[in-house]
Structure 1
Amino acid sequence: MPRTVTIEFIALSDVTSSKAAARAKPVRGGPVTLVVFAGQDLKFSGLTATALGAAEEVVKRAAKTAGFTGARLSCLDVLAPAGIAADRLLVIGTAAKKDAKSDAPAQPLDYAALGGYVMGKLGKGTVHVCFDLPEAADADAAADFLLGMRLRAYRFEIYKTKKADDEANKDPKNDTLSVRIAVIQVAEARREAIAREAIAAGVVIARDLVNEPANVLYPEEFAKRAQQLKKLGVEVDVLDVKAMKKLGMNTLLGVGQGSSRDSRLVVMRWNGAKNSKAKPVSFIGKGVTFDTGGISIKPAAGMEDMKGDMAGAACVVGLIHALAARKAKVNAIGAIGIVENMPDGNAQRPGDIVTTMSGQTVEVINTDAEGRLVLADVLWYIQDKYKPQFMINLATLTGAILVSLGNEHAGLFSNNDELSTRVTAAGTQTGEKVWRMPLGPAYDKMLDSKFADMKNIGGRLAGSITAAQFLQRFVNKTPWVHLDIAGTGMASPSSEINQSWGSGWGVRLLDRLVANHYES
């Protein structure tokens, strides 16, 4: 049974008053933990000092012994602290490290990362977080702190039937964590938290989808899960093979024709703008539920990771959930092309020529360059039918982007400077960073084919760029951004807010983009 985690806001006075700890009702069978925050040289806010009372002197002695100075994302753990009615006291540092070689101001405190860090220190029982920091922290910061806790608490353990040795004797009924974040502005924090809870749920949906094995999450099942968004008022249309053939989506269908699992196209529409006729914003995701490479088969080592080749589509589903759950005042479209790339006797061959929905023809040189073939038809369909303000597509598209940017940034390619700048800024704000890469006619020529309008690969050099150049041929003049998330959508480095293989990357970034610029 997975751990149950509840998080709520309470009044700061419920923690800082002298009788608060005695009134607190701990979870049955669990310890009580008090979390406070300290700045540089153990600087506490006035209300935190009140909450500590006589225990402040105990903290200072323990800190001196442990060498704890209040540095950002550091922790002093005091068991059975004298002077407060708690079984455990966690003192969390918030002070930025000063760079003696630079005059640049210290980076602002990332409250989501702080929340994730604190969650990583917790086990079970009742936790009172005295959210009264030496730095100014408003209701918005408290809501970000809650978001970080939610994201760090995520676990994907539904297929584990045995617990680790250190958990074997736990009573599942008591494996419960109740977190109460004590703030000054309770009503404001609860109001801000509504949107953060929606975003957290969207990220969790994306992570769950990426983490699922391909024998469970195949195209038809993926489409069914996307249809669950109807509960939030999202309109969901699912196109099957017959419908896509009628539309001429031959490149998308060509990728999936070697699989026993039929392909799907899912279009999700959230209509939240005040003006129902306002042009929508649109997000398109690559959804290859498993990628063997097809006839151009991949090496066996690491092929199991190709269950995550649908991280772009997972992000789009999570994003539309987040927008609908927080009732974003925007008209938004999410579209995902869902296929399985398998090498059977009916599979697409290298050298095949296929006609896209746009009418352009493609010579398939390598069947492992399949994501761009899926996206080509979906991009054309969305820009032609819905005339959106912009299109942003996400795809675990190329290994080349890993060579260029590693796991720290997603590659950004765009035909529009304003949209590119806005996406980059939203990435900086949320920590889901992007780096703009070039496009140009010289790269485009690398796709020239002797037999068709274009090839689906441009050779060994500039692989992520030529992939983007390929996609650009299907967007016309619509403002467009392509995010290559091969390094960030799955198997990305652990962080304070994510310990999962599937990161749910992009949900927070694109939600912030919409909130910053496109809600009416």
Structure 2
Amino acid sequence: MTLQFSLGSAAPETVDTPCVVVGVYENGVLTSAAARVNTAAQGAIKQQIESGDISGKAGSTNVLFAPPGLTAKRVLVVGLGVQKSFDGARYQKIHLEAARALARLPIDSAVSYLTEVEVPQHDATWRVRTAALAADHATYRYTATFKPREKSSQPELGTVQFASGEDASIGLDQAKAIAEGVRFARELANLPPNICNPAYIADQATLFAERHEKVSCQVLDHVELEKLGFGSLLAVGRGSANKPKLVVLEYKGGNEEKPYAFVGKGITFDTGGISLKPGPGMEEMKFDMGGAAGVLGAFVAAVKMQLPVNLVCVVPAVENMPDGDSYRPGDVLTSLSGITIEVLNTDAEGRLILCDALTYTAQTFQPRAIIDAATLTGACVIALGKHASGLMTKHDDLADELLAAGEHALDRAWRLPLWDDYQVQLESGFADVANIGGKNAGAITAGCFLARFTEGQRWAHLDIAGTAWDEGRKGLATGRPVSLLAQWLIDRAGSGS
């Protein structure tokens, strides 16, 4: 079930709903809505605070059932933490925890007053958008048919109304569109690799284009790619029975200006090839197309928002498998750009498909800016963990735009250097460049490799290896960096730059 959102302005003590949601800071400080509910309910919230049942700790939740004096059947009290240090990240956290708590209750709808909580430097539009996206993320369920959900006789949460004293309809509209893009990305990435192969990604992109005006899709198969000279990309896919595809989506929402371009790494499964990965945890390599899922999700969000921009989304979709025809360490490949590449490790394959896709995107569309997203290096996970995506670019203005978009969307990135000093690590005695640069600065040398194929382009690279999915047997795709990229496009549409 997809969560539905709306706006409302009814008083919290009189709203007719299965559950009303209010907030309490630590030290017993009530929000305005909580104070009104407390007064109408004859001090029920204060009594729980005095007894120690409600602590106000950030993200804590308590349910009051059938409190007297209220029309609502329940009150969900959410802890907001210390009031003086309240910020955007904590605001997001409380909405995530509130949605999880609501989803555990036998209710089909709720009204939240947490959107009235003031957040420094953020307006009502941001508060509503962030709340809706957090709720949608927290209540997401994997919906593939081979793991059907158990049918329940209890009601399931389907609608959340957010209270706002100001007009925040733009924020809600943006949230609905971005949430659809995030769900698109998460569903695609969560699918098993025997379903989500290069052809499947191509089919999903084609279906989306057929259903939306101003959107077109072109899919190049391995025969066409060979004719065009995609030597690096095709080498990675040689060992797989699932042939590579290059998926090209175009959205013409602007005038005649050049488009923005997204490029996403689409390794639908990565065994490492001849440089075989260890067996434990290899099942997570179905998420190695997280960059493709992310840029496709951002494309979906842009179309749904009807942004007045032109946008291109290019996805090289390839499976990296060991086989008698697989490419090998020691092979020398000729890329679409003409740059030759010595393969030192077949598990450094993402950059090999991206370099050809970046060359194609630049040559074909002459875009205003290119941003690629890729689950590229374990080194980035070591450097930044699971919280920030790695950002690399030689363009300070583009870095500033993306970092600001990430902060605003709470889908943050951290800039890593892309100095030419690191390029020496990629030197080869047998080709123009080697595909790995050794164990030191692995995320950066991967970015430096891609930089060789984007000379003259306004380009940025997002390494999302740490942020694209949650680890573990039940870990799911996160949908990042859809929110970051969507916000960057919103900003571009607003500034015209």
Please, what TM-score do these two structures have when normalized by structure 1? 0.87
Stretch of structure 1 that moved more, 36-45 or 296-305? 36-45
Deviations 1:371-391 (A, max 9, x none): 000001000111112111111
When residues 49 and 440 of structure 1 are mapped into structure 2, their CA distance, relative to the original with a 3 A threshold, is: closer
* Cα distance in 2 for residues equivalent to 1:392 and 1:71: 39
* Cα distance in 2 for residues equivalent to 1:46 and 1:269: 47
**Residue of structure 2 in register with 1:249 after alignment:** 230
* Cα distance in 1 for residues equivalent to 2:42 and 2:311: 51
**Residue of structure 2 in register with 1:115 after alignment:** 95
1:269 aligned to which of 245, 250, 263? 250
1:86 aligned to which of 62, 65, 72? 72
1:409–1:434 contact (8 Å) kept in structure 2: yes
2:38–2:46 contact (8 Å) kept in structure 1: no
**Residue of structure 2 in register with 1:514 after alignment:** 489
Residues 1:297 and 2:310 aligned together: no
**Residue of structure 2 in register with 1:124 after alignment:** 106
* Identity, % of aligned positions: 35
2:144–2:191 contact (8 Å) kept in structure 1: no
How many residues matched? 487
Deviations 1:427-446 (A, max 9, x none): 22222222211223332122
AA in 2 matched with 1:86: A
**Residue of structure 1 in register with 2:8 after alignment:** 10
**Residue of structure 2 in register with 1:371 after alignment:** 350
Instruction: Classify the secondary structure of the residue corresponding to 2:325.
Output: coil
Which structure is higher in RCO with an 8 Å CA cutoff and minimum separation 6? 1
**Residue of structure 2 in register with 1:101 after alignment:** none
1:409 aligned to which of 388, 402, 415? 388
AA in 1 matched with 2:448: Q
* Cα distance in 2 for residues equivalent to 1:192 and 1:106: 21
**Residue of structure 2 in register with 1:208 after alignment:** 187
Please, what TM-score do these two structures have when normalized by structure 2? 0.91
When residues 161 and 451 of structure 1 are mapped into structure 2, their CA distance, relative to the original with a 3 A threshold, is: closer
Deviations 1:41-82 (A, max 9, x none): 444455554444431511101111125353433323222323
1:156 aligned to which of 142, 146, 153? 142
1:491 aligned to which of 466, 470, 476? 470
AA in 2 matched with 1:232: H
Instruction: Classify the secondary structure of the residue corresponding to 1:92.
Output: strand
Q: What is the Cα-based RMSD across aligned positions, in Å?
A: 2.4
1:124–1:177 contact (8 Å) kept in structure 2: no
When residues 6 and 390 of structure 1 are mapped into structure 2, their CA distance, relative to the original with a 3 A threshold, is: closer
Instruction: Classify the secondary structure of the residue corresponding to 1:343.
Output: coil
1:316 aligned to which of 286, 295, 298? 295
* Cα distance in 2 for residues equivalent to 1:451 and 1:250: 17
When residues 162 and 222 of structure 1 are mapped into structure 2, their CA distance, relative to the original with a 3 A threshold, is: closer
2:307–2:493 contact (8 Å) kept in structure 1: no
Q: Offset of 1:367 from its aligned partner?
A: 0.9
Stretches of structure 1 lacking an aligned partner (at least 5 in a row)? 25-31, 99-104
* Cα distance in 2 for residues equivalent to 1:419 and 1:58: 52
* Cα distance in 2 for residues equivalent to 1:111 and 1:229: 33
Matches within 5 A, 1:303-452: 303-452=282-431
Instruction: Classify the secondary structure of the residue corresponding to 1:278.
Output: coil
**Residue of structure 2 in register with 1:504 after alignment:** 479
Residues 1:467 and 2:465 aligned together: no
Q: Offset of 1:156 from its aligned partner?
A: 0.6
1:112–1:149 contact (8 Å) kept in structure 2: no
**Residue of structure 1 in register with 2:62 after alignment:** 76
AA in 2 matched with 1:503: T
Stretches of structure 2 lacking an aligned partner (at least 5 in a row)? none
AA in 1 matched with 2:240: S
* Cα distance in 1 for residues equivalent to 2:463 and 2:111: 41
* Cα distance in 2 for residues equivalent to 1:327 and 1:202: 13
**Residue of structure 2 in register with 1:27 after alignment:** none
Instruction: Classify the secondary structure of the residue corresponding to 1:232.
Output: coil
AA in 2 matched with 1:153: T
1:38–1:133 contact (8 Å) kept in structure 2: no
AA in 1 matched with 2:61: C
Instruction: Classify the secondary structure of the residue corresponding to 2:256.
Output: coil
2:193–2:269 contact (8 Å) kept in structure 1: yes
* Cα distance in 1 for residues equivalent to 2:296 and 2:331: 32
Q: Offset of 1:492 from its aligned partner?
A: 5.5
* Cα distance in 1 for residues equivalent to 2:409 and 2:116: 21
AA in 1 matched with 2:95: G
* Cα distance in 2 for residues equivalent to 1:490 and 1:107: 25
2:21 aligned to which of 19, 22, 35? 35
Deviations 1:342-387 (A, max 9, x none): 1111111211111111111111111111000000100011111211
